[in-house]
Structure 1
Amino acid sequence: MKTSHFYSIFLLAIFITSCNNVQEARYPISQTSSQFLDESIARNKVIINSEEQTFENMFKQDTANVYIPSTKGFWFKYETKVEENSALPVRGDIVLYDYEVYDINGSIIYTKEETQPQRYLVDKETIMTGLRYGIKQLKQGEEATFYFPSHIAYGYHGDNKSIGTNVPLICKVKINQIIKSN
């Protein structure tokens, strides 16, 4: 009987002491610093400056065309410009367009046949960042060539197909129709 009391008291003591223990938070083994982020920012600045310099050198060599800088970090030139006073696409409009994609050396990545005619609900669908901004620069019937640094093209990720990491792109876009929203 004494043994059973001993075990009962022992189990009761374990139960009570385990319930009273305050759990302490576990701390991470290593703490992160801002060093990685700082290095990433510096690396991206070098990439952006290099791509911008490459485009600017291309533009200097081509004196026959006028290259228009955008406020969003890309350039474009008109292939076909509509002089009439028609509306630019705005949020909610539907834009029907064709486009081709080239690398910085002018080699084609995607043809019009591969990209097929596109239908884009302006600012309500996800497309390449540069195209999203570029399409809003063009009127119906206009065609332009856009020069996108990689950070507003497909960035560090690429498109998981033919466009790799940090690839600046040249896109030729033709706006076939703008369907105004209600």
Structure 2
Amino acid sequence: MKVKIVMLLAGLLLFSCKSPEARRPVTQKSGSYINEAVERNRKIVAEEEAQIQRIIKNDSTREYISSPNGFWYFYNVKDTTSTKTPQFGDVVEFDYSLQTLDGQNIYTDEEITPRTYTMDKEQLFSGLRQGLKIMKEGETVTFLFPSHKAFGYYGDKKRIGKDVPVISKVTLMNISEETEENNNQNN
């Protein structure tokens, strides 16, 4: 009897120590949807960049600069004496407007009004955030942003639809270091 109990306990121990097996999914999906989305986005980017390159090619009056961040720009007003550009935490006051690539106004600078922004601590579309970092106080720069650097797939849910590249004319009026007062206003 003891031998049967010992064998039963040994059998239970042997089978209860089995590690759990991974469950397999009922259906397996391929990466085709992701691959299709990537390919669709590549086509959109290529089309937008071709539009921007046509604008640049047809405008021989300005010197366009290609940013390593994926947008193009030219200076309307350039400061050649100052070296100060906004850094992380600086508070900048700027004015800007937004247009489609064919020059239709989306938002005028009067509609947006001067804007105060704490560098990299508040929300701002990525192209404009990166563009402000290259500007100096008093400069006016016109940026050509592909949609992925502007409002992307979702737009702004008001006047800018999905995948709309934009032209933005930006004037940087003031750069100041972040103060306690500004810090308290942002919180």
Counterpart code for 2:33? F
TM-score by length of 2: 0.81
Q: CA deviation at 1:86?
A: 3.0
Give the alignment of 1:91-110 within 5 angstroms: 91-110=88-107
Q: Which runs of 5+ in 2 are unaligned?
A: 1-20, 180-187
Partner of residue 154, structure 2: 157
> Which of the numbers 139, 142, 148 marks the counterpart of 1:142?
139
TM-score by length of 1: 0.83
> Which of the numbers 112, 116, 120 marks the counterpart of 2:117?
120
Distance in 1, matches of 2:54 and 2:151, equals 22
Partner of residue 49, structure 1: 46
Distance in 1, matches of 2:163 and 2:148, equals 7
Q: CA deviation at 1:180?
A: 2.3
Q: 1:6-27 CA distances to partner (integer Å, 9 max, x unpaired)?
A: xxxxxxxxxxxxxxxxxx9986
DSSP 3-state at the match of 2:56: helix
Please tell me whether Structure 1 or Structure 2 has the larger radius of gyration of its CA atoms. 1
> Which of the numbers 175, 179, 182 marks the counterpart of 2:176?
179
Partner of residue 3, structure 2: none
DSSP 3-state at the match of 2:92: strand
Pick which of 28-37 and 123-132 moved more: 28-37
Pick which of 25-34 and 40-49 moved more: 25-34
RMSD value over aligned CA atoms? 1.9
Counterpart code for 1:57? R
Q: Percent identity?
A: 42
Distance in 1, matches of 2:137 and 2:40, equals 39
Question: Runs (4+) of structure 1 moved beyond 4 Å?
Answer: 24-29
Tell me the number of residue pairs that the alignment of Structure 1 and Structure 2 aligns: 161
Q: 1:100-154 CA distances to partner (integer Å, 9 max, x unpaired)?
A: 0000110000011211111111011110111010011100000010000001111
- Tell me, yes or no, if the aligned pair for 2:118 and 2:178 is still in contact at 8 Å: no
Distance in 1, matches of 2:24 and 2:175, equals 57
CA distance change for structure 1 residues 123 and 107 in 2, over 3 Å: closer, same or farther?
same
Partner of residue 86, structure 2: 89
Q: Which runs of 5+ in 1 are unaligned?
A: 1-23
Q: CA deviation at 1:159?
A: 0.5
